[in-house]
Amino acid sequence: MAIMQFEEKTVDSLTVGDFALFTKTVSETDITLYAGISADFAPVHMNEPFGQGTRFGGRVAHPMLTGAMVGGAIFRLLSPGSYPIKREFQMEAPVYPGDTVTIRAEVAALDRDKKTVSVQFEAYNQKRELVLCGTSLEGMDLMDAEINRRE
Amino acid sequence: MKELELKEAEKTVESIPMGQKAYFSKTVTEGDVALFAGITGAFEPLSMNQEFAEKTSGLSRRVQTMLLATYTWPVSTQIASPGAVTIAQESTFLKPVKIGDTITAVGEVTKKILEKKIVIVRTTCYNQEGEMVMDGSVVELMRVH
């Protein structure tokens, strides 16, 4: 058997209030690559003159790009034993290319019977303004899978 | 002489018909998964570690769920852009998607709130076998200025 070590994170090893952070500057490259993999070429993200004509005063990053960075924080909080069941978020303020976004993901509730974790997350920019908030329901029974027990 | 039109007309909550649909299909490749991990920091071992994925789920590496949620964007953009800003999104993940699967995202306008200039698009994703792998919705605010 190959050597593979993972810190065992389970619904029992977590406590309400545990949190993880993930910070990253949202670069021009991120936006270009993100448009390429998502096929979202909406002008508010990709067309500078159009962006300048909007109330944002310039192009803004795709909301889903910031929304997806939540995965960076939840990964640090729960991985490797978790998988998302349901995620929802809402945008509070725009993220501009070059902004540095910090995601904070916190364990809000634990269901030890169903082996699920409710995670509450927020994203802040470098001015500490809230740009996004939401919740995620994560399954934590991955490591109990039948195939895992057979090992 | 007529001036050359190079600017797409902006859409409004009134101009988008209820029930309007949009489709987007894409094969999810290895490259998508690697780029997505680099952009978002989501290095979930289920997506990035073949050994781990096989041991825990019996499946090969799966696509990050949020990459799947990403495919709802091109359909909501087709329906509402230009002229829209996305303000909220939710998705429920029903089945794992493997690298190499072909995903079809379907968007449908299910609700309009005229006074708030809001359009709600139900977004679903299907794999090549026609199984629904994701169900959710996107809230578009039809006000960019």
Write the residue in A22, A56, A87 that is nearest to B41 by C-beta: A22
User: For the whole model, what pTM was predicted?
Assistant: 0.86
- Our CA dihedral for A67, A69, A70, A72, rounded to 10 degrees, sits at 160
Question: Is the model's pLDDT at B114 over the cut of 70?
Answer: yes
Using an 8 Å CB-CB cutoff, list chain B residues near A148.
55-56
Question: In which element (H, E) is residue B51 found?
Answer: helix B50-57
- In 3D space, the residue among A81, A82, A150, A139 whose CA is nearest the CA of residue A113 turns out to be A139
Q: Looking at residue A79, what is its pLDDT?
A: 78
- pLDDT at B42 > cutoff 90: no
CB-based contact A44 B81, cutoff 8 Å: yes
Does A2 lie at the interface with B, CB-CB under 8 angstroms?
yes
Q: Which domains does chain A have, with CATH numbers?
A: 19-149 (3.10.129.10)
Asked if the model's pLDDT at residue A146 lies above 60, the reply is no
Q: Does B123 touch chain A (CB under 8 A)?
A: no
Asked if pLDDT for residue A141 goes beyond 90, the answer is: no
Strand order in the sheet with B85-93: A19-25, A100-111, A116-124, A130-139, A83-91, B85-93, B132-141, B118-126, B102-113, B21-27
Question: Burial, A119: exposed, middle or buried (Cβ in 10 Å; 0-12, 13-18, 19+)?
Answer: buried
Q: Which domains does chain B have, with CATH numbers?
A: 21-28+66-141 (3.10.129.10)
CA distance A63 to A94: 8
Whole-number percent of chain B with pLDDT over 90: 68
Residues A8-18, mean pLDDT to the nearest whole number: 88
Q: What band does A147 get if pLDDT is binned at 50, 70 and 90? A: low
CA distance B2 to chain A (A): 22
Residues A114 and A105: their CA atoms lie apart, in Å, by: 21
Residue B144's pLDDT band (boundaries 50, 70, 90)? confident
By the 8 A CB rule, do B123 and B76 touch?
Answer: yes
Q: What does the angle CA A13 – CA A17 – CA A18 come to, to the nearest 5 degrees?
A: 50
Query: Mean pLDDT, to the nearest integer, of B31-57?
Result: 89
Put simply, whether B94 touches A (Cβ < 8 Å) is: no
- Predicted local confidence at residue A105, as pLDDT: 96
For residue B88, the model assigns a pLDDT of: 94
- Tell me which residue in A4, A38, A86 faces B71 most closely, judged by beta carbons: A38
What lies within 8 Å, CB to CB, of B100 at 6+ separation is B27, B28, B29
Task: Report chain B's terminal Cα–Cα distance, integer Å.
Answer: 30
**Does the pLDDT of residue A2 top 70, yes or no?**
no
Please give the full DSSP string across B63-109, using - where no structure is assigned.
Answer: --HHHHHHTHHHHHHHHH-SS-EEEEEEEEE-S--BTT-EEEEEEEE
CB contact under 8 A, A75 and B58: no
pLDDT (0 to 100) of residue A1? 45
Nearest chain A alpha carbon to B139: A90
A91: nearest Cα among A67, A120, A107: A67
Distance, in Å, from the CA atom of A65 to the CA atom of A95, rounded to the nearest integer, reads 10
Running DSSP on this structure, what letter comes out for residue B122? E
pLDDT tier for residue A145 given thresholds of 50, 70 and 90 = low
The percent of residues above 70 in pLDDT, for chain A, comes to: 89
A14 to chain B, closest Cα gap in Å: 18
In angstroms, rounded to a whole number, what is the distance separating the alpha carbons of residues B25 and B93?
Answer: 18
Averaged over B112-127, what is the pLDDT?
96
Q: Is the pLDDT of residue A143 over 50?
A: yes
Q: Is the pLDDT of residue B97 over 90?
A: yes
pLDDT value of residue A11: 87
When the pLDDT of each residue in chain A is averaged and rounded to a whole number, the result is 89
**pLDDT of the residue at A151:** 44
Kindly report, residue by residue over B50-96, the tens digit of the pLDDT. 888 888 888 889 999 889 999 998 899 899 988 899 999 999 999 99
